[in-house]
Every structure is written in C-alpha cells, then in structure tokens.
Chains A and B, each alone.
Chain A
C-alpha cells in the first residue's frame, strides 16, 4: 500500500484509544456523514491535565489514523497544550498524508477543540471564543 505512510497504516490497523468515555468531561463531534467522515472525541480532564481520551470515527483510513494519532498527542498533556494542537502536527506525526486527505487531520484538530469547548461550557469556565473557529474542514457540509 503506497497511498499511506507506514505510520498511517499502523495507526489505522491498530488505532489507539478507540472507544467511549461514559462520564466524559468534554465531548466533541465534527464532520458529516454526507461528506463521509465523522469524528467524536471524549476527554477526561483532571485539574488541567487530560487524563484520558477516547475516539470514535466513521471515515476512511486517514480519518481513523488521524484520530488515533491526535489522541496520542494530547493524552496526559495539559489542556493549554491540547488547545495548541494543529492539524500540521498530526500530519507530521503520521509522516504525512496525501494532499486530498489533509482534511482528515483538520477534523481531528477540530474534534479535540470542540471537546475542550464542551468542557469549558459544562464547567462554566470562561474562555476565548476566538480560539474555536467554526467548522472549516470541508467545502460542502450543510450541518
């Protein structure tokens, strides 16, 4: 398979942190079934630290691998650091994605941000809304 890097295939074949956190402190879902990918992130946050993270993804190989890699990059890290996670960081950690699959990494970034936003909202924590742009991952979403 030359479409994807070995890293992508590894995270696709053996995705890390798949599943659900029933009592999650923050949940974020992005994407649209119409576009062919949906990602859902569940966060457990203790103090300022993301102590646990799980994901569910409906999507292609790179969507699953991007979700898996993104969870690895933020697990055990402070919230402030997770907020800074960019899709480029996910792509680099995966040793690259084909150009037309880059939106998968954007979805992963957005899913985490949305879960963090949910955490802030649920806990009445004041936050900078400008840090959470609207969904921009795909051109023809109407959701």
Chain B
C-alpha cells in the first residue's frame, strides 16, 4: 500500500513503540500511587512532560496531557471563554477554516451567549493578521487560529497574529495538530498562549495529546475527578501513550529540518505531476504550505469514486467531497477558499510522510491521471464541459 493519508493519521515509529512497551507490563504502576511501582511510573510521566516541554520551548508545568487534539481544542477554548466571562468579555475570534473541534465548540459557546467572529481567508487559505487586529474589540477574550490547515496545508501567520493578540491583551490559542513535529514550534517566539497537539499526527500513538497553557492561565476542567494533571484533567494518565508521544515528538523535532526538506521536494514533484491534469487546481498556498500536503480539485468528477479507485490501485488518499463525509455539503475549507460546490466535490488530498518514496510519487501521479481520465469519461458533467454546453469553472 502507498499510504498518502498522513494528515489523517500516521504509522507509529519504531522509537515510539519501543518507548511505550516497558510501560505496559514493566513500569505499570499508577503515577498517583505512593509505592515504588507508582513512583517509577510518576518518574516516567515527569520525564515525558519535560521532554515534550523542551520540544515546545515551554516548562513542564505548562503541559497538560489530554486524549488528543479535539480534547485540547475544547479545553483551551472553554478555559479562555470562562476567563473572559469572569471579566464580562464574551467575544471570540476565529476563522472559517478551523477544524470542527474548534468550530463546533465555538458554536456551542455561541448558543451559550458568546459572540463569535469567523474571519474569512483568502483564496489560498491565508488569514490576514490585519483582519484579526480589526476584529478585536474590548469584549474579545480569545483569538483561536489554526497553525496549519489539515485539508489544504496552508500555514497561517501565527507569530504575527500572536503579536497582535499580545499587544491587545487577548489570549491566543492555536490548533497545532498538523504542525507539531513537522514545523518548528517555540511557544514564546510565536506569542502563543494556548496550543493543542496530537501524537498520532507525528508517528506517535492515537488517543493522546497535549494542551500547552502559558503559566498563569487557569484551565477549566472538561473531566472532573482525581487530581491528575494538577487537577485540570482527571483520570489515570495513559502512561504508555504519553511515553510514546514524548519519544515520537523528540524524534520528529530532532530531524525536522531535513525531513521537511526531503518531503517538500517529493510534494513539489507530486504537485508538478498532478498539475499536468487539465482543469485541475491546487488548493492551498504554494509557498506557506505544510511539507507533506498536496490538495487538488479536478473538475467533472466526484471525490469518493476517485478515492475508491485509487484504493483499488493500492493508494490511500482522502477527499473533501460531501460523499466522503456523510453530509450533503463538501468541505467547509474548500468552500471558504472560494471553490464552488461543483468543484469542491472533486477534491483529492494526498499527504506524505518521511517514508514516502519518489517511486511511490511517480506511480501515484500516473494512477491519479488514469483514474481522473476514466471517471471523466463516464461523467455527463465532463461531456457537457467538453461540448461547451457547460462552462469550465477551472480553466
């Protein structure tokens, strides 16, 4: 199988698996227990926390372990909203292209009386920091903007937005799920107050993540119970997963630069190859782009059938088509960058990893060309486009 769906999840690294194994049957104590078995586990936990903090440029006390990106997003936003509410500030700023973990949490807060501003992005998915600045009012308690988009790979100007928020005294959260382990992150240099990440996006285990919260920002519990995570997230820590995450993040950050360079070269090869398909268009910014992300729309076809046929050819990919989501509407991200429904249904996302090879990329280019051609041949939309009965949207 040629696995090109690394934005969905990644294969675990050997290092991460090896780091987990001792914590299943060797060091299996509960970190909250006083006996030696428990204390050995507590030591592992503290060690992992320090190593992860080092990767993000923060202190261990600023790290809270969660079940993953969605929980971190929920808790970050809920916490900032609670803090805002105490000061009578009930306005939150975000963007139209956030992950649903952010958008759905904001929707709930809106129902609870918060005002939410969702900023537009430009055609490449970039947010203009000036729009953020202009949207901030005296009532604003939080700005939340994703580090890099999961569908189209656009990297947002986080540092600039963070500086604006810092200047205005507004908390700034970033969903860095797609960025962590792939782009350098230093929470201080980036002016970030709250940050979410998820281990399985950088070859760590699933079901574990981090919420970074700058010192002095009290978190609001989503899960009540014991005093784990300084009382901010109850439940016995998933220690094997935490150890795996620490190892995976360290490993990813250690070779981040060279990995990014190699993967970006393959990405560019793939983009160049797929650009040869007529009436297709690259989604996302060409320059400010995740090293492993390729996303195209091809006019006249539908994404799900494209995915199924690529799967038959041994290629695992993803699409923003409505038919792959179980809803009638295509991806909100593609709509936000101005792709109309007709075109957004024909989207294809291919996301690379450190293991992707040049041979795989070349095979994939050939396979996508073949499948797009095949589906267009049986598409009445394509026939109408070719005969001039319908006008091409993608020139």
Query: Measuring CB to CB, which residues of chain A are less than 8 angstroms from any residue of chain B?
Result: 1, 9, 12-13, 15, 18-20, 29, 33-40, 56-64, 100-101, 138-140
Contact = CB atoms under 8 A, between A and B. Distances in A.
A36 B326 CA distance: 12
Interface string B357-383: 000000000000000000000111111
Contact of B305 (A33, A60, A140): A60
Contacts of B303: 60
Given A56-B378, A59-B305, A1 B311 contact: yes
A57 B380 contact: yes
A39 B380 CA distance: 7
Given A12-B308, A13-B312, A58 B341 contact: no
B304 interface: yes
B302 A37 contact: yes
Contacts of B341: 33-36
A36 B308 contact: no
B291 interface: no
Interface in B254-313: 300-305, 308-309, 311-312
Interface in B325-352: 326, 328, 330, 340-342, 345
14 contacts: A18-B378, A20-B383, A36-B322, A36-B341, A39-B380, A40-B380, A56-B380, A58-B379, A58-B380, A60-B304, A61-B323, A63-B302, A101-B323, A140-B328
Given A1-B308, A13-B312, A36-B322, A60 B378 contact: no
Interface of B: 300-305, 308-309, 311-312, 321-324, 326, 328, 330, 340-342, 345, 378-383
A101 B311 CA distance: 20
Give chain A's interface secondary structure class.
Answer: mixed
Nearest to B325: A100
Nearest to A99: B326
Contacts of B324: 60
Nearest to B375: A58
Given A15-B378, A34-B341, A58-B380, A100 B302 contact: no
Nearest to B378: A18
A80 B303 CA distance: 36
A61 B382 contact: no
5 closest cross-chain pairs (CB), A and B: A60-B323, A60-B304, A33-B342, A40-B380, A36-B345
Contacts of A12: 305, 308
A100 B382 CA distance: 25
B166 to A, nearest CB: 43
Contacts of A101: 323
A36 B382 CA distance: 13
A28 B326 CA distance: 26
A29 B380 contact: yes
B328 A58 contact: no
A29 B381 CA distance: 11
Max chain B Cβ within 10 angstroms of own Cβ: one of A37, A59, A63: A59
Contacts of B378: 15, 18-19, 56-57, 64
Given A13-B309, A60-B302, A61-B304, 13 more contacts: A1-B308, A1-B311, A9-B308, A18-B378, A33-B341, A36-B302, A57-B378, A58-B302, A58-B381, A59-B302, A60-B321, A60-B323, A100-B326
A118 to B, nearest CB: 15
B287 to A, nearest CB: 31
Contacts of B321: 36, 60
A1 B304 CA distance: 13
Contacts of A1: 308, 311
Contact of A38 (B322, B340, B380): B380
Max chain B Cβ within 10 angstroms of own Cβ: one of A19, A29, A33, A139: A33
Given A58-B382, A59-B323, A60-B321, A139 B305 contact: no
Nearest to B300: A58
Given A63-B302, A100-B326, A38 B308 contact: no
Nearest to B381: A58
Contacts of B328: 35-36, 138-140
Max chain B Cβ within 10 angstroms of own Cβ: one of A9, A18, A56, A101: A56
Contacts of A58: 300-302, 379-382
A37 B380 CA distance: 10
A76 to B, nearest CB: 22
A54 to B, nearest CB: 10
